[in-house]
Amino acid sequence: MNISAGGFDILLAAVLPLLAWYVLSTRDLFKAVALFIAYGLLFSLIWVRLAAPDVALAEAAIGAGLTGALLLDTLGRIGSRDTSGAASAMEPEGGPPDARES
Amino acid sequence: MDGLYLGVALFLLLNILLGMVRVLRGPSPADRMLAAQLFGTTGVAILLLLAEALAAPALRDVALVFALLGGLTVVAFVRRAWSPPTQVNKE
Amino acid sequence: MGIIEWVTTIFLLAGAFFFFAGTLGLLRFPDVYNRLHALTKADNVGLGLITIGLMLQVDNWVLALKLLLIWFLVLLTSATAAHLIANAALRGGLPLWRRP
Amino acid sequence: MQQPIFSDELTWRDRLRYALLRLPLFALLWWILIEGKLAGWWYGIPVILLAVLVSLLLLPAPRQPRPLMGTVRFVGFFLWESLRGGIDVALRAINPRLPLNPDLIDYSLRLPEGNARIVLMNTISLLPGTLSANLRDDCLQVHTLDDNPQTMQSLEQVETVVAQLFGIDI
């Protein structure tokens, strides 16, 4: 039991700073938002391990969910096409796809 | 049994971290949004296991929130963030 | 361990396997549509198996109902989310991968 | 958003009837959520009433009574097929040769517009090898993992089961 629990904690503690670094350093805004949502949910797991389920609830709902949705909305308004990665990914690489314009 | 619960929970956490590679690599925004879904389902499973192992029933409510938030972020993504060039913004 | 413990163990391990397969599909499948298949279906079966495994262990049957409710909620949201993402990708013109 | 809050199609007596029908359902849901404790009712009663009100706003249309056999058959079918779907995709994912032959197929719906279609689309997304991608008029675009003639048949089968769930003849 101790090994698994210890491994769980160490893994969380090791990955979270790395993820935080990625969120801050990435140039692609959309990628940053997606990583931020993942970061919030992992953070909520940390609160769970610290025996604070109420804080975990708040972190998941406000930190990841609500803030994530607001950030996505903001991104839509400022136009995510300006950022590097999102723009290039939107262009179909070869010929028109099966998508029909709706 | 608690050892089994924690072991499976650890395995699922490793699974999420492996899935994060897809978020980092993309290539499209839709690929990255799959992370929300990954966390929605896998996070719920982890929390249910921890609730049993740590005898903390409140974690089931956290799992409930996880389940709802995955859907919420995906809706926000589809309706707001990702307005494809072919589609005229009708807002 | 009694028989119920063994059954729970089997269900939990099977569930973990499906989660692993889902992640594997997420990494290996060639485009967003295929990845959606892998993630939605494999993870839902995984969560379902883990839910059943845990339901066998609870001492209060209302709790078992709650676990079932949570699973049903995840089922609903992930099916809807998968459709929304696929729809957005299609309208956004993400090309479909076909076997060459 | 231009619609009035309550649509005028229903009389207040009808609304009261639906509210009374839904009340025990939401009470049961709350009871499950608080894990059968008795202490939560002080918050519970207002929340349940609010939930009934919101449900009347969001889903005012009266539901036809569901045929019981159709429901049972649907649940069984759904559980079995979603298990098959999970196994199918898991085997594809762990197979080193990655046996995928994806395609986008058109399926013309026989079900009428409404909730039945939503249930059908969500069900298709969880069944083996199919994912509903786009709905335009009566044509549903379905993404399949493996393009073979059986897919059409299984789609028709799903539609039949969903139609039975709603008691619709197609």
Please indicate whether, in this complex, the C-beta atoms of A53 and B13 are within 8 angstroms of each other: no
pLDDT band at A98 (very low <50, low <70, confident <90, very high): very low
Rounded to 5°, angle at Cα D28 from D22 and D32: 145
Among B23, B62, B73, the residue with its CB nearest the CB of A53 is: B62
In a domain, C25, yes or no: yes
| Separation between Cα atoms, residue B68 and residue B64, nearest integer Å | 6
What are the sequence ranges of the domains in chain D? 12-58, 68-166
State whether A102 and D104 contact (CB < 8 Å): no
In a domain, C86, yes or no: yes
* C46 located within any domain: yes
Average pLDDT over residues C36-50: 90
* Class in CATH terms, D68-166: alpha beta
**ipTM for this model:** 0.83
Among D106, D134, D147, the residue to mutate for chain A (most A Cβ within 10 A): D134
Q: Is the model's pLDDT at A69 over the cut of 70? A: yes
- D35 near B CB under 8 A: yes
Stretches in chain D below the pLDDT threshold 50: 1-3
Is pLDDT larger for residue C45 or for residue A63?
A: C45
User: Residue B88's pLDDT is what?
Assistant: 42
pLDDT at residue B63 tops 60: yes
Residue C83 domain boundaries: 3-91
Predicted pLDDT of residue B86: 42
Contact assignment for C73 to B40 by CB distance below 8 Å: no
- By Cβ distance, the residue of B15, B48, B77 closest to C67 is B48
CA-CA distance, D119 to D75, in Å (whole number)? 12
List the one residue out of B42, B58, B56, B31 whose CA is nearest residue B8: B42
Q: For residue range A6-60, what is the model confidence (pLDDT) as tens digits?
A: 888 898 999 999 999 988 998 888 888 888 988 988 899 999 988 888 999 998 8
Total domains in chain C come to 1
Residues from chain B contacting residue D35 (CB–CB below 8 Å): 57, 60
Query: What pLDDT score does D169 carry?
Result: 74
B44 close to C47: Cβ distance less than 8 angstroms: yes
At D5 the pLDDT is 53
Mean pLDDT value of segment C22-29: 88
Q: Which residue has the higher pLDDT, B80 or D99?
A: D99
DSSP string, A52-91: -HHHHHHIIIIIIIIHHHHHHHHHHHH-GGGSHHHHHHHS
> Residue D61's pLDDT is what?
62
Number of residues written out for chain B: 91
Mutate to test the interface with C, among D91, D127, D131 (most CBs of C within 10 A): D131
- Neighboring chains of C (3 or more beta-carbon pairs < 8 A): A, B, D
Q: Is the dihedral of CA D16, D22, D27, D33 positive or negative?
A: negative
Average pLDDT, chain C: 88
How far D11 CA lies from chain C's nearest CA (Å)?
32
pLDDT above 70 (res B24): yes
